[in-house]
């Protein structure tokens, strides 16, 4: 009696195996988190995130720091004025370096093919790398933002500062800022991950994108909405006026802004996954 050999089921035949995907994601996260938290690129993230801390500390111990400021409320307003700059430069640049490097650095180091030769769906690889970088950058910036917020309240001493934090709007403001930081990391991260996949030199599109975000305040309302910064500024607990030439638009409601950024992030990630699934590496080109 002869039996025909049954061919082994291919991954495509098996369809999506949730358990397998989670195991693969865990494996990618384990490897990537080490790089993103302890590697060379992590140093730049820490540097950019904590660079304003010495400046803020200097201000806090400076005898004239309380001059013209009536209590922690006024200091919080000062923090609110500086926070957009913190989003626009340290967070933006850190996200650019970290997320752009996820694929581009591996291409330059000629090590991406090790990943691509493993039996992992490219989309899973994209999500794994994205989540690892997101965890690293979000943790860093949540810590640095909390520290900066704390330092801004420092000149008023523990008593007044804790009263502002726990009896006034201090703590809810801080939570709002932390939420904005996390959403900013997610939104910018997705954009730069895609940029790193599409462009050989992602710096030019990143500079153009920064320019677009910077001129957002001067754009008409319908164009404002095609940006990350518009949704982030809509969530600011203390609204700020950017200047005499700002075109003021109604802030997007919280229930639109938060899902808006998350949906935008998911769409960009889907696009990155699609791009990665068609990617062929030619190390010689870089």
Partner 1 sequence: MAVHDRRYKPYTGETTALRSRFLVLPRYAFKDVFKSRWLVFFLGLTVLPPLIFGIMIYIRNNLDALDRLSQLGLDIGSFYSIDEGFFANFLRWQYSFAFFLTLFVGPGLVSRDLANNGLPLYLSRPISRADYVIGKLVILLTLSSAITWVAGLLLFGLNGNMTTWGWMFENARIGFAVFVGSFLWISLLALLALSLSAWVRWKVIAGFMLLAFFLVGTVVPQVINAFFRTDWGHILNAVQLVRIVTAKMLGTTPPDGPPFFACIIALAVMAGVCLLLLNRRIRAYQVVS
Footprint on this chain of partner 1 (rule: CB under 8 A): 51-52, 55-56, 59, 62, 64-65, 68, 78, 81-82, 85, 88-89, 92-93, 96-97, 100, 104, 108, 201-204, 206-208, 210
Closest to 189 (Cα-Cα) out of 105, 89, 97: 97
Shortest Cβ 102–partner 1 spacing (Å): 13
Shortest Cβ 270–partner 1 spacing (Å): 25
**C-beta closer to partner 1: residue 96 or 134:** 96
Q: Which residues contact 153 (CB under 8 A, 6 or more apart)?
A: 72, 75, 76, 160, 161, 164, 165, 170
**C-beta closer to partner 1: residue 85 or 226:** 85
Token readout for 256 is 């639109």
Shortest Cβ 229–partner 1 spacing (Å): 14
DSSP for residue 148: H
- 70 C-beta neighbours (distance < 10 Å), count: 9
**C-beta closer to partner 1: residue 104 or 129:** 104
**C-beta closer to partner 1: residue 92 or 156:** 92
DSSP string, 83-106: HHHHIIIIIHHHHHHHHHHHHHHH
Shortest Cβ 151–partner 1 spacing (Å): 11
DSSP for residue 239: -
**C-beta closer to partner 1: residue 56 or 232:** 56
Shortest Cβ 132–partner 1 spacing (Å): 20
DSSP for residue 66: G
Please give the distance of CA 197 from its chain centroid, rounded to a whole number: 17
């Amino acid at each position: 009696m002869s039996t025909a050999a049954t061919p082994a089921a291919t991954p495509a035949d098996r369809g999506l195996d949730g358990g397998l995907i989670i195991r693969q994601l865990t494996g990618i996260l384990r490897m990537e988190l080490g790089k993103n938290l302890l590697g060379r690129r992590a140093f730049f993230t820490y540097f950019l995130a904590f660079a304003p801390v010495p400046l803020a500390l200097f201000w806090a111990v400076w005898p004239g720091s309380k001059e013209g400021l009536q209590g922690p409320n006024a200091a919080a307003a000062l923090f609110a004025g500086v926070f957009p700059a913190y989003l626009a430069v340290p967070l933006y640049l850190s996200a650019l370096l970290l997320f752009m490097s996820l694929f581009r650095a591996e291409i330059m180091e000629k090590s991406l093919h090790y990943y691509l030769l493993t039996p992992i769906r490219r989309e899973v690889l994209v999500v794994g790398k994205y989540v690892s970088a997101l965890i690293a950058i979000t943790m860093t910036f949540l810590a640095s933002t909390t520290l900066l917020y704390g330092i801004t309240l420092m000149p008023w001493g523990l008593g007044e500062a804790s009263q502002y934090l726990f009896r006034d709007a201090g703590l809810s403001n801080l939570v709002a800022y932390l939420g904005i930081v996390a959403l900013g990391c997610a939104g910018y991260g997705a954009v730069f991950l895609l940029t790193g996949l599409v462009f050989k030199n992602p710096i030019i599109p990143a500079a153009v994108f920064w320019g677009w975000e910077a001129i957002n305040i001067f754009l008409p309302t319908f164009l404002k909405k095609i940006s990350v910064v518009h949704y982030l500024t809509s969530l600011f607990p203390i609204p700020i006026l950017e200047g005499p030439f700002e075109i003021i638009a109604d802030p997007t409601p919280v229930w639109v802004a938060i899902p808006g950024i998350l949906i935008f992030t998911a769409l960009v990630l889907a696009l990155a996954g699609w791009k990665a699934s068609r990617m062929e590496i030619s190390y010689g080109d870089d």
